[in-house]
Every structure is written in structure tokens, then in C-alpha cells.
Chains A and B, each alone.
Chain A
């Protein structure tokens, strides 16, 4: 019986201690509070437990209030200047740089330049017909700098002399020589070039010009040298010896091809009327080759792109600096 009493008292102690905290705060129901008080009056251990809990709570309540050293109010976040523009600007700069790289690559590798006669031009030539008195030759702008670095603007005609069917004046001079020609307006108002083998054979109207025909085999030979075609001189000399309308005669890249060039100033006709005149036969088909000069459009594009990249780059850097300054200012504001 004594044991039963002790067990029940122990249970009562444990039950009391579970709610002592609530009793300290007066958060027990009247019945619960009465039972706790009833038990406390007979149990020294639980009474001490209560007192120590009260002391603990009192200690906690005595803790001083602390004061923060600053306010926690939020500062309005200023949007960074140019926040929306920046990604577009970066994208545009990247795009322009990429285009510029492509343009440079195309320029340096000469991807668009035609290095020699192509089938396309032969086909074009066929369209001119074999029985015509003259041929319309596509003109291609060609700028050549002389020794004084003065750029002469010319139109180049690439004329193959691969067969006897090429115009007589050219045909008879395979391997090098001089062709005479007259440059003047054609009846249709086009630029007309009349080629002959000899100076005597040319028309007296217009200016008679000497055109050298040089093949690759003797590209270092100047047909204008005083001692004759055997004298070796650099091709550059030929270019440099030209004055006025007469520009140059330079070899193309096969020994069957010659290239005529005429100084035309600023006017660059799309086609030139080519009239063969001479003793040899003038019939037969005529093949006309042109050197494609597509990279001509590339330069202005390159310059425009360089300018664009520079402008965009400067704008990007300026904006970045502005934003950085704004950020630094914001951080220091927050520190304050």
C-alpha cells in the first residue's frame, strides 16, 4: 500500500512539473491550478521546482532591452541607368564584331575573288555571237597604284587568246608585243576601243594608244623598253610608265590571258565596245573573260562595320562605367 501511495505521488509530481510552467504564467484552468496548489502544499520538491522556474523566468525578464545601432528602413532601389539598353547594346556590339570578322576573313582569304577565267564568262561570251563586228566586253573596275602611290582608276578587260578565234590583233601577238588602239565614243555612245596590230592601221580619229600584250611567260618583259621586247623589266615599270588615258597592260594568271586596262577617270561603263581591226581574220567566236571584282563592295562595308563597332564599343564602355559608378554610390549609401 505504501508503494502504491509512493507511485501515485510520483505520478502526481511528474504531472505537476509538466504544467508548472503554465502555472507560473497563470495559464492553467481553475481546476488544474487548484490541483497543482494542492500538490505543492504537500510536496517540497515540486515547490522548489516551482521556485527555481520562477527565478529562471525572472532572470530572463530582467535582461535589458538592446538598441540597434541603425535603422532597418529599406532604401528605394534606384534602377541602374540604361539597364534595359545594356543587353541590346552588348548584343549589337557582338553582332557587329562578328560581321566585321566575317568581312575581314572574306577579304583576306579572297573568297569572293575570281582568280581566273571561269566557265561563266565563257558562256557569257557565247551570247555575244560570232558574226558580230564588235563585242561588248564587260568592264570591271580596277584600281592600280603607280610608283608614286597615285591610284589610277581603270576598267580591265580580260581577253583570252587561247585560240585563233580571238580577235586578230591579239591573236597575232601571242607571247608578247604591242597592240595599238583607239579609244573613243562608239556610235551608241558607249566607250569604244579599236584594236590594231600596227600604228598605221589605226583610225586617225581619236587618240591612238599603245597597248601592250603581255603573257604570264614574259610578264617581266617590257614591250615599251627602247631596246625591244627582250629587255627585262618589271611589270611595275610598265604600270609606272603609263600616263594619261593609257594605263596598263598586265598579265592575267594564265599565259593565254591578257588584261587590258584603260584609264577612265570616274566613269566606269558596264561594257566596252571592242572592235577588232587588222589583217588577220576577224571572224570566229570570241570569248570574253572578266575578273570578278566582288570584293569591291566589301571595303565600304568593312569601314562601316569598323565605325559601328567603335561607336557601339564606346557606348557600351560609357554605360558600363555609369552603372558601376551608380552601384558604388548605392553601396556607400547603404553603408551610411
Chain B
């Protein structure tokens, strides 16, 4: 069954079909939520909330990319989750644990370096505005096309480009400061 059939069945109230869609997109949605929030528990909550919301509103889905639609809902759910966390912080964002899956072939040193780097990148992401963060996560981390990002963010291609440009520039400055990225001239200053 393709997405269109599953969506139609879901709109008729078939939860099994909807859950099939959930299974297809949950990893993507969870990754977006995790990059938005930087915390596994918060990301799980946001993802679950996003799929709840998608099920409630499946009747309003009027075609187009289901993936973009789900990601839009996920981004919104993540923003809501972030607001909740800010109102009632459980764990400070800086100290959130991050544990990327270990690859057996790399040495403990490499693993430690990679882990530290990933933590810095994650922290850098949290310094972006919501719109820039969504654009960067969808495009650079999840590898979505500009068109898909535009659909997920409900904006024009031009807006996607400018958000990406500003987000990447901002991140680049942060990475340079954290010495994750070097530029000759800046390095020589």
C-alpha cells in the first residue's frame, strides 16, 4: 500500500493504516524532534504528540507531501515542547545527555571526539531561531530538498534559501568560536 491509500484509509478512521504511516515516518520525525530539542525524552514526547495531532487532523490533510506535513506538525510540536520545558525545566538544556550509537570499529578516543563534536553541534543548533533551526535541520541534517523544506515550513523557496543562509552563517560563526571549523583569515587574526 502506498502513502496515498494509507492516508485515505486513515481519513476513513482506520487506525491500522495510520499506524503504518507512523511506522514509516516515526524515525524521521523523531530525529527532527531530537535535533530541535536535544533531549531524547522531550523528543519522544514531541514526536508522540505530533502523531496524536496528525491523527486528529488527518481529515484536514489535502494532498501534497505527507512527509512534509508530518514534519511541519513535528516542528510545531517540538516548539510547543520547548516552551513547556522552558516554563518547567526538568533538566537544563546544556547538560542534556547525548549518546550517539557507538560504532564498534572506532577507537574510544575517536568515539569521545565524535561525541563531543556532536554535543557542540547540538548546542549550536539551539542558538538558532526556530525558523532557521527547522530549515537547517530539515535541509542539512535530514537531507530534504528546498522544495520539501518549503512545503514543511509553509513558506516560499526564497524564504527557505534566506533562512538557510542565515542559519548556516550563524552556525558557522558558532562552530568557528568552538574551533570546530577553521578559516584561514580568522585563524590568523
Are B171 and A63 in contact, CB atoms less than 8 angstroms apart?
A: no
Are A59 and B48 in contact, CB atoms less than 8 angstroms apart?
A: no
Are A63 and B47 in contact, CB atoms less than 8 angstroms apart?
A: no
Is A105 at the interface (CB under 8 A from chain B)?
no
Known: A45-B185, A48-B183, A74-B22. A61 touches B47 (CB 8 A): no
Is A30 at the interface (CB under 8 A from chain B)?
no
User: B26's contact among A18, A24, A68, by CB below 8 Å, is which?
Assistant: A68
Is A140 at the interface (CB under 8 A from chain B)?
no
How distant is the Cα of A53 from the Cα of B51 in the complex, in angstroms? 34
Is A36 at the interface (CB under 8 A from chain B)?
no
Known: A63-B118, A67-B101. A56 touches B168 (CB 8 A): yes
Known: A22-B161, A60-B140, A68-B26. A53 touches B48 (CB 8 A): no
Interface centre among A44, A48, A68, A70 (most CB of B within 10 A): A68
- Place the interface of chain B in its size category: 35 or more
In chain A, positions 52-84 with a C-beta closer than 8 Å to chain B are 52-53, 55-57, 59-61, 63-74, 76
Is A240 at the interface (CB under 8 A from chain B)?
no
Is B61 at the interface (CB under 8 A from chain A)?
no
Are A76 and B168 in contact, CB atoms less than 8 angstroms apart?
A: no
Is B27 at the interface (CB under 8 A from chain A)?
yes
How distant is the Cα of A7 from the Cα of B101 in the complex, in angstroms? 51
How distant is the Cα of A68 from the Cα of B50 in the complex, in angstroms? 14
Is B64 at the interface (CB under 8 A from chain A)?
no
Are A73 and B169 in contact, CB atoms less than 8 angstroms apart?
A: no
Is A155 at the interface (CB under 8 A from chain B)?
no
Are A74 and B141 in contact, CB atoms less than 8 angstroms apart?
A: no
Is A27 at the interface (CB under 8 A from chain B)?
yes
Are A52 and B180 in contact, CB atoms less than 8 angstroms apart?
A: no
Closest 3 CB pairs of A and B: A21-B165, A60-B140, A73-B19
A interface residue numbers (CB < 8 A to B): 17-22, 24-25, 27, 44-45, 48-49, 51-53, 55-57, 59-61, 63-74, 76
* A-B contact list, 12 entries, CB within 8 Å: A25-B139, A25-B164, A27-B146, A27-B161, A48-B183, A48-B186, A57-B168, A63-B35, A66-B30, A66-B100, A71-B23, A71-B26
Given A19-B161, A21-B169, A73-B19, 13 extra CB contacts under 8 A:
A22-B164, A44-B185, A53-B168, A53-B169, A53-B172, A56-B181, A61-B141, A67-B30, A69-B44, A72-B47, A73-B23, A74-B19, A74-B52
